[in-house]
Amino acid sequence: MKFEELSEYFQKLEATTKRLEMFDILSEVFSRADRRDIAKTVYLMQEELLPPFFDIQLGMADRMVEKAISDAHNVDLETVKAYSKKVGDLGEAAEKYDHRKEKSELSVSEVYDRIFELSKISGSGSVEGKITSLAKLLKEVSPLSSRYIIRFVMGKLRLGVGEATIMEALSKAKTGKREFKASLERAYNLCSDLGYVAEVFYDKGEEGIRKFEVRVMRPIRPALAERLPSAEDIIKKLGRCAVDQKLDGFRAQVHKDGEKVKIFSRNLEDITHFMPEIVAAVKKLKHRRMIFDGEALTYDEDTNTLYPFQITIQRKRKHNIEEVSENFPLRLFVFDMMLLDDLDLMNEPYVKRREMVDETFAEDSTICKNKEIVTDSVKEFTKFFEETVGAGLEGVVAKKLDSPYSAGARNFDWIKMKRSYKSQLSDTVDIVILGYFKGRGMRANFGIGAVLGGVYNKNRDEFETLTKVGSGFSEEQFRELRKMLDEISTEKKPARVNSIMEPDVWVMPRYVITVKADEITRSPIHTCGQENGVGYALRFPRAVSFLRSDKDAGDVNTTHEIIEMFKGQKNVKLKA
């Protein structure tokens, strides 16, 4: 496929606000793509060169892109700057000053490869090298293609295409039906690389996807837990179950292949660089190939006590790691095993996977097994929970004994219970920012007075509004938030956002904040779980974290979870 054709599809996607139209457009794109282009087409749709765990950065600031546009089209640099500032879009500036009349013959793969090569330019002279390479590419494409190349390079393509919609469209394009999406999603959950999944699908067909297996060095999308408020509820749901201590640290998925070790975060970023002591300990393990799941926390070597997350987060830096490691060493608590040598454990029952953990790891070392009991007694469960909370930990996670490792899924195979669940909605909720309202009164100086937040409806692959949040932010945070949100603002409501409320400024769903509220109520002005014109909303919400760097938009609480939390409130009225 020519990149010019793909640009025309980008234009159609940009113009729609309806998910069904988006699905039809994507289905048409994927039906035209072949095996050579499909992975790169998917990556471009996802607005990334490769998945996050590859850590590929384009590294081009506004001034560099402005210079590339100026050089490519022989336009005065100040003119480019003035126009882009006026319209707020360097992509439009590239399109305006590109006077080519003929369409480009460059393919999707050729344009993608040129951008990828640009990302690898580094060292002395890299700024000039990137500007020259981008300018050269812009000279060879049409005005429309220039618009989308520049937006991609700037991280502002803003198509709003979700993974679920991409998988559904791939299924329709190759099988004529949507139903194969479930198989594609399973494969994606095993490798976290949708472009690679698409390539296998186009190369080996449905059978290749059905036989898809885990691969070392490709992170598995983590299994997640549902929540219930009491030991009685959990034992009633699971019966006899394993109960793990719930730790408040870095979720760490460890991959070992001989001497090579990689560690991935909850949102699948490569965090190997700031865990050198964990890497060293993994290399000493006798097994050749391994994938296991755990939680990493800093601890005091003198007292052997764990530090809170606020201390552990200091490890997430790129400089002076050795010094930080010495002052705040890490310990990794392992709670699951997905692969051991040549044995794929994904579909094995939890009890067998836990046996592998117990056989492989000790109780007190740099890498150790997480503390666990197995019980069907509410009294014993409660005692373990109280002991865990008393030790300063978050709570517990109960696990169904015969459950597989449910990659990428949040279900009742795992159920978490935190100390905050004991009271009426004192638990927090993660929401994604969908837009903001301009400041009034004293907040007029910040340019922002509140944000519109939403949760994710997995069945519909859309974000539904839950609350408007204006408290909990400092003055400095309001100013920083305004700047960050303006960079991802969009003139109209994104296609995958379902909202009755109209903020002053819409933004692409990207940034996640954690909020606390007095309770969940029924509301006609929010779309979360809306039926017969009535949805769910948070009463008196306030932000308790600025931005969650460990979570993406798809990691926020779901509509289903909000409804379950609503039902679990004390003295709740289930009818609107």
Q: Which residues are catalytic?
A: 246
- The position carrying tokens 């490569």 is 270
Q: Give ∠ CA 74-75-76 in degrees, rounded to 5.
A: 125
C-alpha span between 370 and 245 (Å, rounded): 7
| β-strand partners of 418 | 395
Tokens standing for residue 184: 């594609």
Residue 296: Cβ within 10 Å count: 25
Furthest C-alpha separation in the chain:
77
CB 547 within 8 Å of CB 512: yes
Is the alpha carbon torsion for 324, 325, 326, 329 positive or negative?
Answer: positive
C-alpha span between 449 and 225 (Å, rounded): 34
Measuring CA to CA, which residue among 301, 276, 281 is closest to residue 360?
A: 281
C-alpha span between 521 and 576 (Å, rounded): 9
- C-alpha 98, offset from chain centre: 35
Tokens standing for residue 339: 């692969």
Residue 210: Cβ within 10 Å count: 12
C-alpha span between 27 and 170 (Å, rounded): 6
Type of residue numbered 112: Y
Measuring CA to CA, which residue among 306, 288, 416 is closest to residue 368?
A: 306
CB 273 within 8 Å of CB 261: no
Could you write out the three-class secondary structure of 353-403? HHHHHHHHCECCCCEEECCEEEECCHHHHHHHHHHHHHCCCCEEEEEECCC
Residue 177, Cβ density class (10 Å: 0-12 exposed, 13-18 middle, ≥19 buried): exposed
Please provide the DSSP assignment of 250-315 as one string: EEEEEEEETTEEEEE-TT--B-GGG-HHHHHHHHTSS-SEEEEEEEEEEEETTTTEEPPHHHHGGG
CA-to-CA separations, 202 to 30, 128, 209, 252, 317, in angstroms, rounded: 10, 38, 10, 32, 39
